[in-house]
Amino acid sequence: MDIVLVHGAGGTPSTWSGVAPLLRAAGHRVQLVTNPMNSLREDVANTAALLDATTGPVLLVGHSYGGAVITNVGRDERVAGLVYVCAFAPDEGESIQDIIGRYPPAEVSRHMRRGPDGEWFSDHSPEYWAEIGWDVPEDERASFDADSRPSADAIFAEPTGVPAWRHLPAWYLVAAQDKTLRPDTQRDMAARAGATVAEITGSHFTPRVWPRDVADLVERAAASLAGAPR
């Protein structure tokens, strides 16, 4: 099966550096997207263009903000299913800001900063790592900092179109100790989307810290879509 991996806000394909090799070793064709993060609309179009490089049914996998991207890209008829990894799964007309605003602030809000053009980035101070990404090995934190990019406010403010989870099967991996996207928010979105839910103990950095668990859920989703028992 073709699997397209979509990073979150501020991220790059390095988000999936541990996951992609596992999926390829299992025989899947894996595509990694690099989104510009100037607007949700542009990121959706950029990700959808990558589908032209696929050859079969596509399984979309999104981390964090990447969930909003796959929710919209999934309307393409080539997409067979969706996997959300501690990710946003907005409804029609709903933005990420709308979702966040319905819950008490997550701990990461204390570490968010705005640039001169209104873009958002997180301040990766020692306090940030201690509170938000405590489970990321210290020797990996410098590479994460080097890869991080600012994200335009528009990716969080633009509303979603008709969500693909209304007509496609979905899976959701909840990070139970997430300090970036509250676990209760994750569970509520997963339930609304009718997703098959798995849960792991860990932070928002699940793809980096628990790549085997992420790959296992993606493989279960792929097997289900292929009609194979797993």
64 is catalytic: yes
Which one, of 228, 205, 96, lies nearest residue 151 by Cα? 96
Residues 6+ positions from 155 with CB-CB distance below 8 Å: 9, 37, 38, 39, 40, 43, 65, 68, 96
Cα angle 3-206-16, degrees, rounded to a multiple of 5: 40
Which one, of 201, 193, 184, lies nearest residue 84 by Cα? 193
Question: Which residues pair with residue 62 across a beta bridge?
Answer: 6, 84
Tokens 């609304």, residue?
192
116 backbone dihedrals φ, ψ, rounded to 5°: -65, -25
14, 17, 39, 64: the active-site residue: 64
Would you name the residues annotated as active-site residues? Answer: 64
